[in-house]
Chains A and B, each alone.
Chain A
Amino acid sequence: MRMPEEKKKVINCLKETGFYKQGKIYDRGKVIAGIVVFIVIAAFPFFYHAGKAAKMPEPKLDTPVIQQLPEAERFCVLPKEEMRENHMVLLDEWRDQAVREGNREYTGYKGKKYTISLQRTCLECHSNYEEFCNECHQHTTKTPVCWGCHIQNPKEWAG
């Protein structure tokens, strides 16, 4: 059994040099106080917000264009649930189809035909970027890169 003996040797050596004393922490009070302070600071957000649920995003649909639509036609290019979950997938498809394939007409929900265009079709109804797009994106800390080129508020932008 060579290992334990070598281990002992090392511990002895450390003891002699004063680096190792069993069961002793140097500056015990400061160290423990430090750990407690760290835990309190790190956990502060959890205590501070305990019991308070973050506000659920409420994307607004009350734009003039949507309001004007008759009740029966108040639907998006795909059913609401699908749009909520997969609008980014659809937008990617639209982008590729329009730019790369030259297909600029989309047949959507209930067979309705749409021009494939973010600025002209999506934003025509959803003209409230702040209250619609941003509402959820901020909640989920998403920053889509669309708006580096595409214009958020086409009506105001053209002037």
Chain B
Amino acid sequence: MKTVEEKTATIDRRKFLKITGVSTIIGLLGGWKFVELLAPGELEATYLPKAEALTAKRWAMLIDMKKLTEETAEKCIKACHHVHNVPDVGDPKREIKWIWLERFENAFPGDEHEHMPEGMEGKRFFVMCNHCDNPPCVRVCPTKATWQREDGIVMMDQHRCIGCRYCMAACPFGARSFNWGDYRSLIKNRNSEYPTREKGVVEKCNFCAERLAEGLMPACVEESGGAMVFGDIMDSQSELRKIMREHYTIRRKPYLGTSPQVYYVV
């Protein structure tokens, strides 16, 4: 009479050891394949950001209007428009602008009053895309041609833009321009390292994403002689945050809830 245990046991000790032995050998063979895969040159990523690329948790811009003269601003505009092949259209209704000067009361509507310090009224502020934390342009784009990167930059993919101009209607800062025609011939200070734009797409400041990828600061910041500071706003040790601790800064139309990331020292 066999015991219950003996009846239910489907394999004996000998068989069990055999199976484990064979499985171990098979497992080791598989493991060897794994080792081979890890050999150099096999599993390395084909696409990587460049080693010299500048990275941040959240990029932001600070413009010190006490330091910035209109002369410097013109230099910055020139540099930006050269680097990005921005055409000089002339007609304000059809022009392309990435960075430009705007009167205080137009850039900061509601903040103006009768008793402002001398020179504040009509003072020309340096404005550009605010790369908002909550960008309305991104929300309305039907093709995801404009989207927000993880580092906060509101990027534009010209390959996907269908020219519907929803983003232009959504942006409360007028930071976006439309290519009403073929403007290539209107580019004066040409740069052969950056593409141009075609008729029917929207464009704007991209915080020089293509320069950051190569380890360079934005073109305007380089030309500003310290009046513009670009940095990581999430890094409390950054130059940007240092200045923001020392000076009170304002943003354009914060009451709209888009959370602009271009800060001004006035």
Contact = CB atoms under 8 A, between A and B. Distances in A.
Interface string B208-244: 0100011000000000000000000000000000000
6 contacts: A93-B47, A99-B155, A99-B159, A102-B213, A118-B195, A119-B192
Nearest to B150: A102
Contacts of B194: 119
A157 B190 contact: yes
Contacts of A118: 195
Contacts of A149: 158, 195-198
Nearest to A115: B50
Given A103-B47, A105-B50, A106-B46, 6 more contacts: A100-B147, A105-B49, A105-B51, A119-B193, A119-B194, A155-B192
Interface in A93-117: 93, 95, 97, 99-108, 111, 115-117
Contact of B49 (A95, A103, A107): A103
Nearest to B199: A148
B44 interface: yes
A150 B184 CA distance: 11
Contact of B47 (A99, A105, A119, A120): A105
B41 A100 contact: no
B157 A100 contact: yes
Nearest to B157: A99
Interface in A119-159: 119-120, 148-151, 154-155, 157-159
Q: From A93, A95, A104, name the one whose CB has the most chain B CB atoms within 10 angstroms.
A: A104
Contact of A119 (B51, B149, B195): B195
A104 B50 contact: yes
A115 B47 CA distance: 10
Nearest to B182: A148
A157 B190 CA distance: 7
A107 B196 contact: no
Contacts of A157: 190, 192
B24 interface: no
Contacts of B158: 149
B48 A103 contact: yes
A148 B157 contact: no
Contacts of B44: 107
Contacts of A108: 46
Contacts of A154: 192-193
B47 A158 contact: no
A34 to B, nearest CB: 46
B178 to A, nearest CB: 15
A158 B198 contact: no
A115 B48 CA distance: 10
B191 interface: yes
A107 to B, nearest CB: 5
A96 to B, nearest CB: 9
A101 B193 contact: no
